[in-house]
Structure 1
Amino acid sequence: MTDLKTRITEDVKTAMKAGEKDRLSVLRMLQAELKQREVVESTELTDAVVQSAVEKMIKQRRDAESQFRAGNRPDLADKEAAEIVVLMAYLPQQMTDAEVDALIVQAIAETGATTGKDMGKVMGWIKPKAQGKTDMGKLSGLIKAKLSA
């Protein structure tokens, strides 16, 4: 078992004992997602696979939250936001806006990118350094803005 998967299992037990129903619900959904990946890929889960699953679940919740807010359902949007907070605990320390900006500047300099056509080169360079540490969709938008400026 990976360190991250073990930590999630321990957190499920802790939430159960503490009676934290909402947190327990999110953690069980995460465990189900991990179990499915384990069965489908028939492999031992690495921390990278676990982080990928967490990122996917956070993205789904961000999408749902924005749709609920647009649909004037703050109660459901707040529930999604609370689930995001629980899931974020299983990702590495998130990068600050300044760190993201510095990384983008470095990536553009390293790849020699000048236009939006170079977007793929920049993303290819930056992805391994930023994966799991920032919202990749937001990062993509920031890179696009820098290249078109």
Structure 2
Amino acid sequence: MSLLERLNNDMKQAMKNKEKDKLSVVRMIKASVQNETIKLGHDLSEEDELTVLSRELKQRKDSLHEFEKAGREDLVEKIRIELTFVELYMPKQLSEEELSEIVKSTISEVGANSKAEMGKVMAAIMPKVKGKADGSLVNKLVQQHLS
């Protein structure tokens, strides 16, 4: 089942169950997917869908950080709820141990041995873990292993 079909089914179910928060988030994700389809001019591949979902997740995490900094607890709670619904559509996230193993193997594949080669390592890792790991965590682990 494609992401769009899943979103349509979840949207119908949220309407029936009168789940306003879920309905709102599903509609936003669906709009983003449809906009990306129009922008690219063809149906989205799984990778394209993952890109859209990652973008939606990142936007909400950034908003959450800003609202927490500003002390807007009313908006913090709303964004946390939205985050839980967006995460339902994301693939299972890698644990820190699994991610660490991928980082180690990629560093040896690339042959990097200093922080100066961090960009090369990140460029090799990110396609492997796309949508399955947070970029800031990957960055932190790469820095640890290269130091």
Structure 1-normalised TM-score?
0.92
The count of corresponding residues between Structure 1 and Structure 2 is 147
> Which residue of 2 is the match for residue 90 of structure 1?
89
Aligned residues of 1:5 and 1:50 also touching (Cα < 8 A): no
Structure 2 unaligned blocks of 5 or more: none
> Which residue of 2 is the match for residue 29 of structure 1?
28
Post-superposition offset of 1:60? 0.6
> Which residue of 1 is the match for residue 108 of structure 2?
109
> Which residue of 2 is the match for residue 70 of structure 1?
69
Query: SS of the counterpart of 2:15?
Result: helix
**1:22-48 deviation digits (Å, cap 9, x = unpaired):** 000000001111111111221112222
Aligned residues of 1:103 and 1:126 also touching (Cα < 8 A): yes
The 1-side partners of 2:99 and 2:73 are apart by 30
Query: SS of the counterpart of 2:94?
Result: coil
The 2-side partners of 1:98 and 1:41 are apart by 36
**1:78-133 deviation digits (Å, cap 9, x = unpaired):** 21121111111111110011111111111112211111121122112212221110
> Which residue of 2 is the match for residue 128 of structure 1?
127
Post-superposition offset of 1:141? 2.7
Are 2:60 and 1:42 equivalent residues in the alignment? no
The 1-side partners of 2:52 and 2:134 are apart by 14
Aligned residues of 1:65 and 1:80 also touching (Cα < 8 A): yes
RMSD (Å), alpha carbons: 1.3
> Which residue of 2 is the match for residue 5 of structure 1?
4
Structure 1 unaligned blocks of 5 or more: none
Query: SS of the counterpart of 1:83?
Result: helix
Q: Which runs of 4+ in 1 moved over 4 A?
A: none
Decide which moves more: 97-106 or 117-126: 117-126
Aligned residues of 1:5 and 1:47 also touching (Cα < 8 A): no
Post-superposition offset of 1:144? 2.2
Structure 2-normalised TM-score?
0.93
The 2-side partners of 1:80 and 1:125 are apart by 32
The 1-side partners of 2:87 and 2:116 are apart by 33
Q: Percent identity?
A: 33
The 2-side partners of 1:61 and 1:10 are apart by 23
One-letter amino acid matched to 2:48: V
Query: SS of the counterpart of 1:86?
Result: helix
